[in-house]
Amino acid sequence: MCGAERMQEEIIIYYGEKNGIMTLDKFFIDRQDTVLLIVDIQEKLATVMKEKDKVVKNNQHLIELAKMIRLPVMVTEQYPKGLGTTVHDLRDALPFYRPVEKMTFDCCGQPSFLEELKEHNTSNVLLTGMETHICVLQTCIGLLKGGINVHVVQDAVCSRTKENWKTGIEFMREAGAVVTCTETVLFQLLKVAGTEEFKAISKRIK
């Protein structure tokens, strides 16, 4: 295989292909076909995260838009008896508090999680939470394996160390997830300026 052919093969693997034509479908999200998934942002776990304040704030922004546009929000908690429940700032912001409790690092290993996800009949998941290189990463891989398009919101996930966060982000990108950020997601879902949702979100992020 020559260099040009190898490069073309790598591009197709990365972007995806339909009927031999390279597509950009995985980079698009739509409010009718997307779920916000918040993984394990829990009280005791958050206390050891240097970036917790930024991560919680960005998750609040995403939750607020989700409520405005009626985007489903799923929340998981890893062994809440030991790690505590979801942090209060997010619990208060959620449209309802009904966490999926789990012991598996990969949310997809918890049957009740898969049942709830199936109810939403979604093709896209916005993935946030902690820790980036453990539960977020394994959940990302599980979702991708199940045919779900994953957008990892890199400023709404964290690990105890920057090195582990970076490793997790690079791993998920290589696996086929889209690595994005909070403001990109907000404006991809808003699509147009001038709406009440746009005005409210713009005010929040100033």
Q: Would you name the residues annotated as active-site residues?
A: 40, 102, 135
Contact present, 74 and 100 (Cβ < 8 Å): yes
| Rg for the chain, CA atoms, rounded | 17
Question: Which residues does residue 152 pair with via DSSP β-bridges, in sequence order?
Answer: 127, 179
Task: Please name which of 122, 46, 117 lies closest in space to residue 86, comparing C-alpha atoms.
Answer: 46
Length in residues, the chain: 206
How far is residue 204's CA from residue 84's CA, in Å, rounded to a whole number? 28
Per-residue tokens: 97? 């508090």
